[in-house]
């Protein structure tokens, strides 16, 4: 019997980079807030948030990017607080819902995660990452049919999503569908030779 690890570490965070209107003095912080990592990203986003120059969707963008950095550092509560603020500033910001769902799942709250993925998908029905992330949440609830359906949708929206193929294969394996599992794992390996590891 083959044992594969579900790609949980490969959760898809929405890396929302732009468009953002910035003042020239703020350009360095905007770049670091978008593309940086760790404490550098947090500091740049915090300066952008506190600058007073950004409003509405631009400010929501900075909170979301800082939330991504907090989540990467293993601080889901701080990430959730930033996503909450981003959603308050821009209730139609699908990326913030998706990312907050990832943070809730990290806290072991799959129902809240699924609710956020649902909202992200309502706002953007072509949001492959939200389908993929919701599939992970369903998988851990042992709702393999729903997980497979979400991976199907993620693959339909992004035919080269190696992680969706691999995780769909694992969900099929959990249901006893060896042929379907083998096919998906083989496709994942075609897309990325390291996918079977």
Domain coordinates in residue numbering, the chain: 27-112, 126-197
CATH class of this structure's domain 126-197: mainly alpha
Alpha helices in the chain (DSSP H): 27-35, 38-50, 56-72, 76-89, 94-106, 110-123, 128-140, 144-157, 162-174, 178-191
* Domain 27-112 and domain 126-197 have a common topology: yes
Q: How high is the pLDDT of residue 193?
A: 83
Q: Is the pLDDT assigned to residue 131 strictly greater than 90?
A: yes
- What is the rounded average pLDDT of the residues 3-32? 53
177 and 146 Cβ atoms separated by less than 8 Å? no
Q: What are phi and psi of 143, to 5 degrees?
A: -95, 75
Q: Is the pLDDT assigned to residue 25 strictly greater than 50?
A: no
The chain-wide mean pLDDT, for the chain, equals: 88
Q: How high is the pLDDT of residue 21?
A: 45
pTM for the whole structure = 0.85
Give the 3-state secondary structure of residue 24. Answer: helix
Instruction: Please state which CATH number belongs to domain 27-112.
Output: 1.25.40.10
């Amino acid at each position: 019997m083959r044992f594969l690890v579900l790609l949980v570490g490969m959760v898809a965070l929405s890396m929302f980079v732009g468009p953002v209107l910035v003042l020239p003095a703020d350009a360095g912080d905007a770049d670091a807030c978008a593309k940086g990592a760790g404490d550098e990203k947090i500091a740049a986003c915090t300066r952008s948030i506190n600058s007073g120059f950004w409003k509405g969707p631009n400010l929501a963008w900075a909170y979301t990017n800082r939330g991504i950095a907090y989540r990467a550092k293993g601080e889901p509560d701080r990430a959730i607080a930033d996503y909450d603020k981003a959603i308050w500033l821009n209730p139609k910001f699908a990326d913030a819902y998706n990312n907050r769902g990832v943070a809730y799942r990290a806290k072991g709250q799959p129902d809240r995660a699924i609710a956020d993925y649902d909202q992200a998908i309502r706002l953007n029905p072509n949001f492959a990452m939200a389908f993929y992330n919701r599939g992970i949440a369903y998988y851990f609830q042992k709702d393999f049919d729903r997980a497979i359906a979400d991976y199907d949708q993620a693959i339909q929206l992004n035919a080269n999503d190696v992680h969706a193929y691999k995780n769909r294969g694992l969900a099929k394996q959990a249901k006893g569908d060896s042929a379907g599992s083998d096919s998906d794992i083989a496709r994942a390996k075609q897309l990325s030779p390291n996918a079977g590891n």
